[in-house]
């Protein structure tokens, strides 16, 4: 139960920015399929949200992130397909779980809601 207890951490704005950039890189720029473990993590998403809320530029960033991003979604879909292909013995195209896609795409909204 201690894992769910919130902890307080003091970060400078520079550290907040650096962590947000690292998370966004892992989710939306890193082409390595193994990065999907981070893209789909609800804990990573929650940490990003905490960083965002505590950022000096929250309002501007929230407006940017809480929208659809077709380019990010296309990259995520391709990585999920690559992951499914490498995990499957049949190599048949599988459907993509909508909730998993939403989680991987966070903080952006899924297109075509």
Q: What is the pLDDT of residue 94?
A: 74
Q: What is the pLDDT of residue 96?
A: 84
Q: What is the pLDDT of residue 70?
A: 95
Beta pairing partners, 109? 68
Q: What is the pLDDT of residue 103?
A: 95
pLDDT averaged per 10 residues, the chain (length 113): 78 97 95 90 96 96 94 93 77 80 95 74
Single pTM value for the model: 0.84
Asked if 61 and 55 count as a contact pair (C-beta separation under 8 A), the reply is: yes
Q: What is the pLDDT of residue 93?
A: 66
């Amino acid at each position: 139960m201690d894992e769910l207890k919130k902890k307080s951490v003091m970060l400078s704005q520079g550290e907040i920015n650096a962590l947000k950039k690292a998370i966004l890189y892992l989710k939306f720029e890193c082409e390595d399929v193994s990065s999907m473990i981070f893209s789909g993590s609800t804990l990573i998403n929650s940490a990003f949200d905490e960083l965002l809320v505590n950022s000096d530029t929250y309002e501007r960033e929230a407006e940017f992130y809480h929208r659809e991003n077709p380019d990010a979604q296309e990259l995520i879909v391709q990585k999920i397909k690559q992951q499914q292909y490498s995990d499957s013995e049949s190599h048949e195209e599988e459907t993509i779980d909508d909730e998993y896609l939403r989680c991987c795409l966070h903080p952006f909204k899924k297109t075509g809601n």
